[in-house]
Amino acid sequence: MHGESELAAQVIFGWDPLWVSSILFVATYVLIISEKVNRAIVAGMGAGLMVVLGVLNQETAISGIDFNTLGLLTGMMVIVAITRGSGIFQYVAVWSAKKVNASPWGILFMLSLVTALFSALLDNVTTVLLIAPVTLLISHELKIDPYPFLFAEIFASNIGGTATLIGDPPNIMIGSAVGLSFNQFIINLAPIIPLIFAVTLGIIYLVWGRSMHAAADARERIMRFKEKDAITDVRLLKQSMFVLTLVISGFVLAHPLRLEPATIAMFGAALLLLLSNFKNDAEEQSEEVNKTFAGVEWITIFFFIGLFIAVKGIEEAGVLRILADIVINFTDGDLTVTALTILWVSAIASAVVDNIPFVATMIPVIKSMAPTFGGAEYLMPLWWSLALGACLGGNGSLVGASANLIVAGFAERAGHRIRFLTFMLMAFPMMLLSIGIASFYVYFRYL
């Protein structure tokens, strides 16, 4: 880390790097929250100014970028972009609806379960992007309000995503920064997820599920849906399932294989690109690869790059050390109080602002607490608290997670507007309840 005096000499006009970096970072944060300018542009400007104004030199700025997070995100996005073309997600959604004889509550339960499972293994946005249209179609056929279904799926996507390393970007960031494996996430976070999922669905049942009814002829129409029609490319389906299985197995065996998750994901992406383009000529391959890469959320990737550099700026300037000291003073250096504070603050913050910049900021803050708690190995409860808070907190409001907004967008365009306050009145207390359950879990398991 640079000394402050060294930094002060580098910052233009000899300005105090602490103030320059803080002002830049707060301005970046405010602009991200305002959503007036695209978040990739804001993060890019914040990062650029950190370097141009001399808070960071170029080498330090680059060293702040977590390429493992970027590689894992990009690799999984490529795999999902190809896999979704096979129609497997919609196949499973329709199949699961028919498995419960098209009973409305059964469908709600099954679609929520499917959403949670897919969200644990893929990204939440893709999952809801594929499940929400089927949900709207089914609820329209059943002539019942789609809101409870969509509400349950929003919760299921964020709850399911909490369970694994690859389920939600905050987990990817935490896993990469701390060196936590796929298995460690499964062992430490997955055990509490079924309980939170069950409690959530229990409440939804009490509020809406008991009064859900559909006419026999409407249910019969659902039973006549042909899920096989959803499969548009059987060969691609087989290839995708093969690579997905390989990648998930790779994550599980990453430690003995001595491979980083990003390497596994990127290799899986390359393999699936190869298999899916095997019979194409050079021109067709270029076209297909271009199409696949267009499915990668580059805005998110560049947002991460900018954010990593911006966070590096305040870290080098000593801002995060001060922030960590404030937290330690507030919690009196007590691990239990610190863990629960991180859990609750990250949940509430993630309900109202994007959890990615929040987690990016918190990672170095928590890392710098290591000496207070006797070393990095004693920080584990704090990491699990951050992961649980940041992921589950996304359920607190419509803007809490990107997946929530995707569902709301689909609903609105189908003539079923989900109002911000209506959603939050029900969702925020339910999110707090899930954090309450997570608090007991963290306390009894780690503290």
Partner 1 sequence: MNVEQVLISTRVAKAGMTVRELFDECDRANTPGLPFCDVSGRIIGRVTLKNVLKHGCLPDYVVETAHILGEQFSNLQDIQAEVELLLNNTVDQYKQEPHLSITPTSSAVKALAMMEREDTSYIFVVDEGRYKGTVTIHHLASMLARCGDPLT
Instruction: Give the residue with the Cβ less far from partner 1, 49 or 154.
Output: 154
Instruction: Give the residue with the Cβ less far from partner 1, 4 or 227.
Output: 227
Would you say 152 and 166 are in contact if contact means Cβ atoms under 8 Å apart? Answer: no
Closest approach, Cβ 382 to partner 1, in A, equals 41
Interaction between residue 81 and partner 1 (CB under 8 A): no
In the block, tokens 């990668």 appear at 296
In the block, tokens 């196949």 appear at 91
Angle between helices 261-276 and 234-252 (to 10 degrees): 160
Residues in the interface with partner 1 (CB under 8 A) total 25
Judged by CB under 8 A, the chain residues 132 through 151 that form the site for partner 1 are 132-134, 136-137, 140-141, 143
Interaction between residue 88 and partner 1 (CB under 8 A): no
Residue from the set 94, 174, 236, 403 that interacts with partner 1 by CB under 8 A: 94
Buried b (16+ CB within 10 A) or exposed e, 127-161: bbbbbbebbbbbbebbebebbbbbbbbbbbbbbbb
Q: C-alpha distances in angstroms, 384 versus 174, 338, 441? A: 9, 12, 10
Closest approach, Cβ 299 to partner 1, in A, equals 20
Closest approach, Cβ 276 to partner 1, in A, equals 19
Of 117-125, 157-165, 218-226, 374-382: span binding partner 1 (CB under 8 A): 218-226
Please state, in angstroms and rounded to a whole number, the distance separating the CA atoms of residues 3 and 307.
22
Residue from the set 44, 87, 160, 167 that interacts with partner 1 by CB under 8 A: 87
Residue from the set 109, 225, 303, 384 that interacts with partner 1 by CB under 8 A: 225
Please state, in angstroms and rounded to a whole number, the distance separating the CA atoms of residues 182 and 253.
9
Closest approach, Cβ 136 to partner 1, in A, equals 4
Interaction between residue 235 and partner 1 (CB under 8 A): no
Please state, in angstroms and rounded to a whole number, the distance separating the CA atoms of residues 205 and 33.
34
Residue from the set 218, 237, 348, 426 that interacts with partner 1 by CB under 8 A: 218
| CA-CA-CA-CA torsion sign (423, 426, 430, 432) | positive
Structure tokens at 307: 């954010």
330, amino acid identity: F
Interaction between residue 227 and partner 1 (CB under 8 A): yes
Would you say 109 and 198 are in contact if contact means Cβ atoms under 8 Å apart? Answer: no
DSSP result, 112-179: HHHHHHHHHHS-HHHHHHHHHHHHHHHHHHHTS-SHHHHHHHHHHHHHHHHTSTTSSHHHHHHHHHHT
382-421 mask for partner 1 (x: CB under 8 A)? ----------------------------x--xxx------
Instruction: Give the residue with the Cβ less far from partner 1, 99 or 226.
Output: 226
Of 67-75, 130-138, 320-328, 381-389: span binding partner 1 (CB under 8 A): 130-138
Positions in the binding site for partner 1 (CB under 8 A): 87, 90, 94, 130, 132-134, 136-137, 140-141, 143, 218, 221, 224-227, 229-230, 232, 410, 413-415
